[in-house]
């Protein structure tokens, strides 16, 4: 029989250890409040049919608004927590009492890097053993210490001034030790009974597995992850952001795509010379079906190349009368939209224009700004270089202007993780 599972995300800590007026779990991590990442992870676990989020009472409406913005498929509710963590957990358990689940997966809202896989694994361990806890093996050797009144501070130069002198009591068997994380799923009736008993016995507990242990029921380990860190200090937030960024990068097969484009157009007297979308003073212009902006054509091909979408001849054939005297800027804007539809944004563009005449350096600034405006990127993302061909070949004889372009594309910002 499939068991029903509710998630209980505890985000009621005042924890203003970073300063500021917002509780810790409301701080931004990669564009979202920390607790939102847990909401999303649980919403992606098919077994989880309801999510209860517990927050400080004075942040109830803010948390509700933020949760609503997520448009989660899983039903959710936000409730007010209590003074201590265990009071908040009890409030969450009470909120489920009318329609109790078989299993409740309790999770710390300050662990934003939990994954649907870790959650699902802990639930399946719980389904078999009634109480589970996500955890990871230790990599450091762990020793227990005790105050040693017989050892003088002078003989322990590594001791910090004023700190008690500690001596090793024993080296613990690392293979039997685990660092504890959440989720900590448990059978609903069991965790309710265990918390009730803790209240009767006036037990102060910091995690739910301890409540179940104290109640005399075994708790079984499930596989957590080293990345599933708890954001407690400011350094944790930086590390969480780094881990999140790495995870997003890994989700894309290739985080950056490079494309190259090349084009050449003949120069003809009496034509306007359009380069990078602007007209430059010259006695000759480029010959072509469109405005023959050789720079924009090369850039368009570089972008299409990076996105593996073909080339501009395929989309804007010079046999099509629609593109006669077309503004290449309009065509390039269409190419940018096509790349965006395929999931790509412009990272940067570098181009080299090969022209004997006119001298391009006085127009470099205007060309960069024009290209940036067409592409919708900052000018700092655009590089325009110019060179001659030393008098050699058609470009060297000023019969043509050519352009090479390189485009780097980056994945569009994902609306979800
Ligand atoms: Mg062309």
Where do runs of H (alpha helix) occur along 27-114?
Answer: 34-43, 60-69, 85-95
Contact, 241 vs 232, CB < 8 A?
Answer: no
Report residues of the chain scoring pLDDT below 50.
Answer: 157, 415-417
* Closest C-alpha among 176, 180, 178, 187 to residue 207: 180
Identify the pLDDT of residue 246: 79
Cα(265) to ligand 1 centroid in Å equals 6
pLDDT for position 225 = 96
What Å distances lie between residue 221 and 5, 9, 132, 144, CA to CA?
18, 20, 6, 22
pLDDT for position 21: 73
Question: Is-contact 276 401, C-beta < 8 A?
Answer: no
Distance from the CA of 292 to the center of ligand 1, in angstroms? Answer: 6
**301 alpha carbon – ligand 1 mean position (Å):** 9
- 40, 65, 104 from 50: Cα distances, Å: 12, 18, 10
29 DSSP β-pair partners? 32
C-alpha to C-alpha distance for 403 and 31, rounded to whole angstroms: 39
Instruction: With beta carbons less than 8 A apart as the criterion, state whether 130 and 217 touch.
Output: yes
* Predicted pLDDT of residue 416: 38
Separation of alpha carbons 61 and 204, rounded Å = 29
How far apart, in Å, are the Cα atoms of 331 and each of 27, 286, 295, 300? Answer: 42, 17, 12, 8
The 3-state DSSP class for residue 264 equals: strand
Ligand 1 midpoint to CA 284 (Å): 17
Neighbouring residues of 195: CB distance < 8 A, sequence distance ≥ 6: 86, 89, 90, 93, 211
Q: How many angstroms is it from 245 CA to the middle of ligand 1?
A: 39
Structure tokens at 188: 């609903």
The confidence score (pLDDT) of residue 231 equals 92
- Segment 255-305, tens digit of pLDDT: 789 999 999 999 999 999 999 999 999 999 999 988 999 999 999 999 999
Q: Are 60 and 152 in contact (CB under 8 A)?
A: no
pLDDT at 188: 98
Which token pair is 18? 């970073």
How close is the Cα of 47 to the center of ligand 1, in Å?
56
User: Is residue 287 within 8 Å of 269, Cβ to Cβ?
Assistant: no
At 75 the pLDDT is 97
Q: 378 C-alpha to center of ligand 1: Å?
A: 25
């Amino acid at each position: 029989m499939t068991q029903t599972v509710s998630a209980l995300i505890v985000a009621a800590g005042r924890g203003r250890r970073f300063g500021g007026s917002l509780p810790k779990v409301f701080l931004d991590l990669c564009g979202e409040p920390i607790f939102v990442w847990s909401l999303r992870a649980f919403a992606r676990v098919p077994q989880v049919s309801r999510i209860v989020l517990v927050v400080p009472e004075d942040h109830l409406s803010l948390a509700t608004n933020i949760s609503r913005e997520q448009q989660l498929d899983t039903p959710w509710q936000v409730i007010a927590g209590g003074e201590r963590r265990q009071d908040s957990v009890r409030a969450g358990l009470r909120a489920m009492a009318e329609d109790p689940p078989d299993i409740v997966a309790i999770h710390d809202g300050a662990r934003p890097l939990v994954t649907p896989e870790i959650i699902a694994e802990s639930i399946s361990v719980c389904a078999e053993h009634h109480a589970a806890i996500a955890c990871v093996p230790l990599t450091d050797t762990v020793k227990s210490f005790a105050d040693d009144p017989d050892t003088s501070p002078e003989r322990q130069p590594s001791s910090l001034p004023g700190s008690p002198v500690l001596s090793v009591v024993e080296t613990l068997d690392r293979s039997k030790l685990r660092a504890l994380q959440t989720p900590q799923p448990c059978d609903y009736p069991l965790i309710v009974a265990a918390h009730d008993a803790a209240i009767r016995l006036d037990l102060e507990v910091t995690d739910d597995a301890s409540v179940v242990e104290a109640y005399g029921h075994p708790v079984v380990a499930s596989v957590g992850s080293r990345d599933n860190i708890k954001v407690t200090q400011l350094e944790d937030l930086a590390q969480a952001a780094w881990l999140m960024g790495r995870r997003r990068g890994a989700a894309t097969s290739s985080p950056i795509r490079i494309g190259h484009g090349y084009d050449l157009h003949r120069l003809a007297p009496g034509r306007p010379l359009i380069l990078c979308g602007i007209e430059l003073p010259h006695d000759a212009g480029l010959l072509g079906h469109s405005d023959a902006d050789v720079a924009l054509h090369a850039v368009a091909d570089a972008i299409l190349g990076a996105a593996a979408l073909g080339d501009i001849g395929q989309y804007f054939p010079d046999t099509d009368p629609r593109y006669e005297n077309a503004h290449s800027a309009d065509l390039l804007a269409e190419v940018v939209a096509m790349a965006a539809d395929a999931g790509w944004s412009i990272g940067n563009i570098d181009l080299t224009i090969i022209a004997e005449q006119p001298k391009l350096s006085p127009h470099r600034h205007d060309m960069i700004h024009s290209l940036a405006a067409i592409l919708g990127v900052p000018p700092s993302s655009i590089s325009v270089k110019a060179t001659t061909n030393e008098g050699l070949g058609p470009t060297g004889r000023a019969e043509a202007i050519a352009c090479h372009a390189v485009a780097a594309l980056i994945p569009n910002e994902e609306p979800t993780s």
